[in-house]
Amino acid sequence: MLYPVRNKYRDMTTLDGFWDFQPDPDKVGEEEAWFSSLPDPRPIAVPASWNTQYADLAEFFGLGWYQTETTLPSYWQQGSNRIYLRVGSANYAATVWLNGERVGHHEGGHLPFALDVTGIARPGESNTLTILVDAELLPDRVPPGRQGGNIMMGGTKPSGAFDFYPYSGLHRSVQFVSQPFWGIEDVTVTTDIDGADGLVHINVLAESFESVTAEMAGISASATGDDGSIDLTLRIPEARFWSPEDPYLYKLTVSLGTVDAYSLNVGIRTVAVQGDKLLLNGQPVFLKGFGKHEDFPFNGRGLNRAVVLRDAELYDWVGANSYRTSHYPYSEDWMDMADRRGYLIIDEIPAVGLDFGDAELVAKRSKQCSRALCELVMRDKNHPSVIAWSVANEPVVAGSVAGMFLGGGGPQKPPQDAIDRGTEYFRGMIDLAHQLDASRLALFVALGDRTPDSWFETADIVCTNQYPGWYSQSGDLAAARGALGAALDKCGAFGKPVMLTEFGADTVAGYHATNPEMFTEEYQSAMIEMAMAVIAERPYMVGFHNWCFADFATRGSILRVGGENRKGVFTRLREPKMAAHTLRRAWKGEEE
């Protein structure tokens, strides 16, 4: 569904606020009809993670019931509108009841889903909405949760195959949406450059229409048809092309006679790979930025718009132009901010911690990954900021990341059948991304140099996470420099653009030393300077994302001081460490 807006034809109501909540550790709620009323509710903020709001829920990863009452506008029943319920993100799965009736189920956190509740929703009356969020960490989910095992970092709490806190709950807004019954179902915009002109290709889907008009910058085109899909092209003379330096957005309005209209921002730009170069609008571009997380005290992974804005301010302050939505899709608010500020985004599905050892698990997870990719492309396809789809972070052949990296759990010689399953996954997923969206790149983010060549061969850009100076060559920056250079050169041999998507050192803000000692601000800063020097010597390098932007909550382990991953150049509260100033000098240079 198109992102909900309010206009002459469309309306919505957002249910942010305090809801009733009840954890269901014994899984009795459905049998006891909690969808009608919760027996012993307590208030909870939406959007936000439940783990950060009540001490007894910090480590609760089970079933949580949310309930609220709302009166829908009575004018929604006049005429011919459909009513939808849209849930921005429920981690991990959600089942929804409206007025006691089960209306749908969705699996996979971080992506929105919409349910048609026309006829069940009661305009002008009070409605009881119940959402059951299932946050269980299971090996056949994506990302894979593994409760009870000692998988990573010498054991973590709670245990799991990924390095961030498995926050649970309703993480983004829940909305009721009213839109025309026979209105615009979808709009897909792609752009091209022809000399000084911009070409804007627009596809409109609607169940039935007589005439559709698209208008942008005073230029318009109309077409008629009745097969449900119409294509239009607008030529914008002397166009202003979207880029990090000039993130110019046009407003496109698509109208369906006097039935419906929808407006969206359009940035005219092209993205391509040529040899080992990454091109934006036909010119080589270098990505400077970070891997991030949606993470903040109190909200957990829940949307906090002030943090979105503050992070963007810090992005501009430090001179970054790019980020990856590590390791799951971010809120639409983040995507809009990136469009407006000119950030180049690698948009990632929640496929972190995948391994290809067990054929049955691989089959189950692959299904979820392709569904997540379809949903992500549907959601984000019109954002000029998105330049590439990422279909995995640090997949391993078999075993676990920690096993491969620390030598503790992975097999010595990777089994060929697991390598082949991985090749099939990457070929399939990258093809799918190209089929869904031929205007962008597709890639995955690899762990160190432990990735089979046949996997790399599928990707448009070779993306590698490297930790010399931290997990290897610990504390020895001279040795780390050699190791990083050698690892990047191995990636460079594919003849494609190469990007260092992660690199970093845990750093406790306020730790200092005259010589760069691990965990001090001096060490982090020196390590980053080293990486930038290694990258500058290599013409095939097209980007550097430091890991990471800000410290973030993760699972407790001997490697995670105070339950946080401290590789941020900002603290969790967004205070700059010394390395933030180092990056700012490098990225802004003379400008400052």
Work out whether 564 is an interface residue with ligand BDP (CB under 6 A): no
Of 53 and 525, nearer to ligand BDP (C-beta) is: 525
Of 354 and 362, nearer to ligand BDP (C-beta) is: 354
Q: Which stretch binds ligand BDP (CB under 6 A): 20-28, 382-390, 393-401, 431-439?
A: 393-401
Work out whether 547 is an interface residue with ligand BDP (CB under 6 A): yes
Of 191 and 565, nearer to ligand BDP (C-beta) is: 565
136 is catalytic: no
- Pairing of β 441-447 and β 11-14: unpaired
* Smallest distance from ligand BDP to CB 154, Å: 13
Neighbours of 413 (CB within 10 A): 7
Which regions of 228-276 does DSSP assign to beta strands (E)?
229-236, 250-256, 260-266, 271-274
* Smallest distance from ligand BDP to CB 64, Å: 25
Give the angle subtended at the CA of 306 by the CAs of 300 and 308, to the nearest 5°.
75
Work out whether 375 is an interface residue with ligand BDP (CB under 6 A): no
Consecutive H or E run containing 283: strand 283-284
Kindly report the length of the chain. 592
Cβ contacts of 391 within 8 Å, gap of 6 or more: 349, 351, 369, 373, 426, 429, 430, 433, 442, 443, 444
Under DSSP, the state recorded for 561 is G
Q: Which residue in the block uniquely carries the two structure tokens 């790979």? A: 273
| One of 81, 168, 265, 565 touching ligand BDP (CB under 6 A) | 565
By C-alpha distance, which of 306, 345, 304, 350 is closest to 327?
350
Instruction: Give the 3-state secondary structure of 428-472.
Output: HHHHHHHHHCCCCEEEEEEECCCCCHHHHCCCCCEEEECCECCCE
* Smallest distance from ligand BDP to CB 164, Å: 6
Work out whether 163 is an interface residue with ligand BDP (CB under 6 A): yes
Residue nearest to ligand BDP (CB): 163
Work out whether 502 is an interface residue with ligand BDP (CB under 6 A): yes
The SS3 assignment for 13 reads strand
* Smallest distance from ligand BDP to CB 401, Å: 6
Residues in 312-341 that interact with ligand BDP by CB under 6 A: 327
Total residues binding ligand BDP (CB under 6 A):
10
Q: Considering all CA atoms of the chain, what is the largest pairwise distance in Å, rounded to the nearest integer?
A: 73
Work out whether 567 is an interface residue with ligand BDP (CB under 6 A): yes
394 is catalytic: yes
Mark residues 276-315: x for contact with ligand BDP by CB under 6 A, - for none: ----------------------------------------
Of 209 and 467, nearer to ligand BDP (C-beta) is: 467
Residues in 407-466 that interact with ligand BDP by CB under 6 A: 465
| One of 243, 304, 393, 546 touching ligand BDP (CB under 6 A) | 393
Of 86 and 555, nearer to ligand BDP (C-beta) is: 555
Under DSSP, the state recorded for 422 is H
Residues 255/213, Cβ–Cβ less than 8 Å: yes
Work out whether 385 is an interface residue with ligand BDP (CB under 6 A): no
Of 24 and 551, nearer to ligand BDP (C-beta) is: 551
| One of 170, 314, 369, 401 touching ligand BDP (CB under 6 A) | 401
Q: Which of 332, 375, 394, 521 is catalytic?
A: 394
Of 24 and 348, nearer to ligand BDP (C-beta) is: 348
Bridge partners of residue 472, in order along the sequence: 468
Residues 198/236, Cβ–Cβ less than 8 Å: yes
Instruction: Tell me which amino acid residue 295 is.
Output: D
The SS3 assignment for 100 reads coil
Work out whether 487 is an interface residue with ligand BDP (CB under 6 A): no
Distance of CA 501 to the CA centre of its chain: 15
By C-alpha distance, which of 243, 231, 237 is closest to 201?
231
Work out whether 394 is an interface residue with ligand BDP (CB under 6 A): yes
Q: Which of 294, 332, 375, 502 is catalytic?
A: 502
Q: Which amino acids are annotated catalytic?
A: 394, 502
What residues make contact with ligand BDP under the rule CB under 6 A? 163, 327, 393-394, 401, 465, 502, 547, 565, 567
